[in-house]
Amino acid sequence: QVQLVESGGGLVQAGGSLRLSCAASSSSFSNSAMGWFRRAPGKEREFVATVSRSGENKFYADSVRGRFTISRDNAKNTVYLQMNSLKPEDTAVYFCASDVKYGSKWYASGFWGQGTQVTVSS
């Protein structure tokens, strides 16, 4: 079974940057579209970003487009989320997920990481 482990979360001031990493335990990582979701206090889990198997195609939620960048390194079985110009509204637990797809909305049909906390102070 594939395991996904997120890291890189922490406490930052508004306007700051943070880089999240998600390491997969299997080389099958390269055969899955990967993505990031988040759950903010008092809200449902929402889609943040996704990257295709090759890393060539990327999609972002409107709320983060232009500020966040998703990327992957298949040789390292790792996906990243570079977060710039952070806002207090970005405060959430961020989850990495595999087999990300789009139907009526973005969702993941594969595995989920344990999540990493991101807190942005004003």
d(CA 113, CA 95): 6
Q: Which of 116, 34, 115, 20 is nearest to 74 (CA)?
A: 34
pLDDT at 27 over 80: no
Beta bridge partners of 106: 102
Tell me which amino acid residue 110 is: G
Dihedral angle, C-alpha 2, 49, 41, 7, nearest 10 °: 50
Query: What are the beta bridge partners of residue 89?
Result: none
pLDDT digits (tens, 9 = 90+) for 44-93: 999 999 999 999 999 999 999 999 999 999 999 999 999 999 999 999 99
Instruction: Kindly indicate the confidence band of residue 30, based on its pLDDT and cuts at 50, 70 and 90.
Output: confident
Sole residue written with tokens 């232009």: 66
Token pair belonging to 9? 């979360």
Q: Which residues pair with 6 in a beta bridge?
A: 22
Nearest to 16 by CA among 80, 71, 90, 70: 90
